[in-house]
Structure 1
Amino acid sequence: MAEDFERWRDSVSTAFVPLDVVSTGSSLFEGGLCSSTLGAMQLSEVAGCEVDVRRTRATIKRADPGLIKVGLQVTGHGVVAQRDRQAVLAPGDFAVYDTSEPYDLHFGETFSMFVLMFPRDLLRMGSRDLSTVSARRIHGDRGVGALVSPFLAGLRRGLVSDTLPTSPKIEDAVLDLLRAALDDAAPHQGPAATLLMEARSVIENRLGEPNLTTATMAAHLHISTRYLQKLFESDGCTVAGWIRSRRLEKCHRDLVDPRLEQQSIGTICARHGLIDSSSFSKLFKDAYGMSPRAHRATRAP
């Protein structure tokens, strides 16, 4: 439904995060917004004409939920600016930006943009890595971007037609593809950064092994445990902490997967390497503020 500027501005700030929005056009404004969810992700299509959108330090102070946004240009052209970088987007291009830092969006013509928004922890990138890829244009017709852009466009069609998939696996696929595109777009990484990415990839593939530890990972990578710890600490975490958080995220997802409703909580946590049920319950409650059983009860019927 078309909205006038005042209603559209309020709708955009409510749907996303607090924003300053200014109409820069001289003609009558028309815009629209539709949103839905996919797991922990919010999917939206926003349309309008000739506007500047700003996330300032003042609006960040009003609310900073720690979210990542991915903007796929659908029609028209747009500019995403953050950290002294600008991504000029044509249809099919996309860029990632962090709501915890100031950013600007500029649209000088009629446009529509598909926007994914999700907690930054899901991206599994440290602050340093994220800062190097925010507001970088990812071309929709080359490199890994040529694989990701059609996938995002498919989600956008599902949003518009109210036929979005419901499987939690789709959420994982979206995040995996985004990480691949960001890795491809990042400036050249040094040996330490490359080794850290390899370590994270190995951990992801071996989460189901209860004996996965700092020592076994270091042995697999043929480096010392001290050096492995140093790699992870440079990004603000520990090896054990990373393994634990990834296991908990997998369990958090599976507990509300309707296809797994016949599986016990013990079976689910053991599948991801957490074989001590009582210890798992405490870790889960510390991380998410509720017990695994209570979280499972939130599953939509």
Structure 2
Amino acid sequence: MQSAYLSHDDIHRQARECVIPVVAYTGDAGTVRMTDQDLSGSIGLTRLSTTGSFRKVRTARLAATSTGNEMMILSVGLRGDFRARQDGWDASLSAGTAVLYQAGHEWELQMRGDSQAQVLRFSRDALPAAARDVGDTGPGLSTRSPATALLGRYLHQLDASAAGLSPRQRADAGEAAIVLLTMALRDTRTAMPDASDPVFLDLLQAYVRDHLADSLTVDDLARLHHVSARHIYHLFERAGTTPGAYVRTLRLGTARDILADPAQAGLSIKQVAAMTGFPNVRTFYRAFQQRFETTPDGFRHDHRPPFSA
């Protein structure tokens, strides 16, 4: 993962040399920070953070070349004010909205003020055959639908974690993003994922892993992911467990790993309990002992590394 504030010269150089060459314009007082990650040979993810004025333009001259003809771009607004233009349409974006357009045609993306956007670039061939004509007559996606919100949260999470994944895992994560995009492109009345969708289950489980210290009731998960509590229960049931059992197992397993880690020896039992979602330390002791047949203190003592002179 490469992340840096870019100078004006860097911005113009990268605009010329990137996979889809463009022309970049920046205001004198603005700043641009970019995080760029290749997920696979045909899928990449970029986060753009700007202050002031910033524009990326695929000019008519560049569009006349063959570069990027089969590439697509999905821009998702995270913060601030955006506009995207292509082939006569003009889409105004804000946080939570998205637009899909053809990278090889003429287009313009403008960001104003303190703004942040997630940009997914991918080959049109990555889409299912039935969805490959998207964007031929204008923006394929510009909506606040729950499915688009779900896709936006997934890309945000992927941006934060992709650097720690193996190449195979990054490729799989990129393919999962395309699955979610395909879902969002369907009619919004049927765009919500099916309760048996393994991609959605993976997304829920990843959210739990990243928020163990938070409240993780079924109602919380349903509200945050724009599905019903009934769907959440059904999804975990098909995986052979319940939401509550999954959360508790993950919390206790994470607490066990922390207690066994010499680098975390300075943390008190109360701190470990709070980090893994047990605000009441007595509840933590009881649950830990029931699961591992020892107390947290006893487990830490038994897994203390041997003294070395």
Aligning the two structures, in what range does the TM-score lie when normalised by the shorter sequence? 0.5 to 0.7
Q: Which residue of structure 2 aligns with residue 146 of structure 1?
A: 149
Q: Which residue of structure 2 aligns with residue 134 of structure 1?
A: 139
Q: Which residue of structure 1 aligns with residue 33 of structure 2?
A: 32
Give, in angstroms, the shift of residue 127 of structure 1. Answer: 5.9
Q: Is the 8 A contact 1:11 1:33 kept in 2?
A: no
Q: Which residue of structure 1 aligns with residue 54 of structure 2?
A: 51
Deviates more, 1:6-15 or 1:145-154: 6-15
**Are 1:60 and 2:63 counterparts?**
yes
Q: Which residue of structure 1 aligns with residue 108 of structure 2?
A: 104
Once residues 31 and 66 of structure 2 are traced to their aligned partners in structure 1, the CA distance between those partners, rounded to angstroms, is 27
**Are 1:184 and 2:187 counterparts?**
yes
Q: Which residue of structure 1 aligns with residue 85 of structure 2?
A: 81
Q: Is the 8 A contact 2:72 2:100 kept in 1?
A: yes
Give structure 1 stretches of 5+ with no counterpart.
187-301
* Structure 2 counterpart of 1:36, one-letter code: Q
Give, in angstroms, the shift of residue 110 of structure 1. Answer: 2.8
Q: Is the 8 A contact 2:125 2:132 kept in 1?
A: no
Q: Which residue of structure 1 aligns with residue 9 of structure 2?
A: 6
**Are 1:120 and 2:124 counterparts?**
yes
Partner residue of 1:72 out of 64, 70, 76: 76
Say if 1:150 and 1:76 are closer, same or farther in 2 by CA, change over 3 A: same
Q: Is the 8 A contact 2:32 2:50 kept in 1?
A: yes
Once residues 41 and 156 of structure 1 are traced to their aligned partners in structure 2, the CA distance between those partners, rounded to angstroms, is 13
Q: Is the 8 A contact 2:87 2:138 kept in 1?
A: no
Q: Which residue of structure 2 aligns with residue 17 of structure 1?
A: 20
CA distances 1:212-231 after superposition (whole Å, capped 9, x unpaired) = xxxxxxxxxxxxxxxxxxxx
Q: Is the 8 A contact 1:4 1:29 kept in 2?
A: no
Give, in angstroms, the shift of residue 101 of structure 1. Answer: 1.4
Say if 1:129 and 1:36 are closer, same or farther in 2 by CA, change over 3 A: closer
Deviates more, 1:10-19 or 1:70-79: 10-19
Give, in angstroms, the shift of residue 63 of structure 1. Answer: 4.6
Q: Is the 8 A contact 1:85 1:135 kept in 2?
A: no
Q: Is the 8 A contact 2:86 2:138 kept in 1?
A: no
Say if 1:70 and 1:181 are closer, same or farther in 2 by CA, change over 3 A: same
Give, in angstroms, the shift of residue 103 of structure 1. Answer: 0.9
Say if 1:129 and 1:43 are closer, same or farther in 2 by CA, change over 3 A: closer
Q: Which residue of structure 1 aligns with residue 223 of structure 2?
A: none
CA distances 1:22-74 after superposition (whole Å, capped 9, x unpaired) = 22x3x423212221211231111222330222112211234523211111222
Indicate the SS of the match to 2:114.
Answer: strand
Say if 1:15 and 1:34 are closer, same or farther in 2 by CA, change over 3 A: farther
Q: Which residue of structure 2 aligns with residue 157 of structure 1?
A: 160
Aligned residues: 181
CA distances 1:193-214 after superposition (whole Å, capped 9, x unpaired) = xxxxxxxxxxxxxxxxxxxxxx
* Structure 2 counterpart of 1:143, one-letter code: P
Indicate the SS of the match to 1:173.
Answer: helix
Percent identical pairs in the alignment equals 17
CA distances 1:156-215 after superposition (whole Å, capped 9, x unpaired) = 2224xx2246434333321111011112369xxxxxxxxxxxxxxxxxxxxxxxxxxxxx
Indicate the SS of the match to 1:156.
Answer: helix
Once residues 8 and 18 of structure 2 are traced to their aligned partners in structure 1, the CA distance between those partners, rounded to angstroms, is 15
CA distances 1:86-107 after superposition (whole Å, capped 9, x unpaired) = 2222123221111121111111
Once residues 14 and 106 of structure 2 are traced to their aligned partners in structure 1, the CA distance between those partners, rounded to angstroms, is 20
Q: Is the 8 A contact 2:134 2:140 kept in 1?
A: no
* Structure 2 counterpart of 1:144, one-letter code: A
* Structure 2 counterpart of 1:83, one-letter code: D
Q: Is the 8 A contact 1:54 1:105 kept in 2?
A: yes
The structure number with the bigger radius of gyration is 2
Q: TM-score, normalised by structure 2?
A: 0.52
Say if 1:51 and 1:94 are closer, same or farther in 2 by CA, change over 3 A: same
Give, in angstroms, the shift of residue 9 of structure 1. Answer: 2.4
Give structure 2 stretches of 5+ with no counterpart.
190-309
* Structure 2 counterpart of 1:94, one-letter code: A
Say if 1:146 and 1:28 are closer, same or farther in 2 by CA, change over 3 A: closer
* Structure 1 counterpart of 2:156, one-letter code: A
Say if 1:135 and 1:179 are closer, same or farther in 2 by CA, change over 3 A: closer
Give, in angstroms, the shift of residue 122 of structure 1. Answer: 0.9
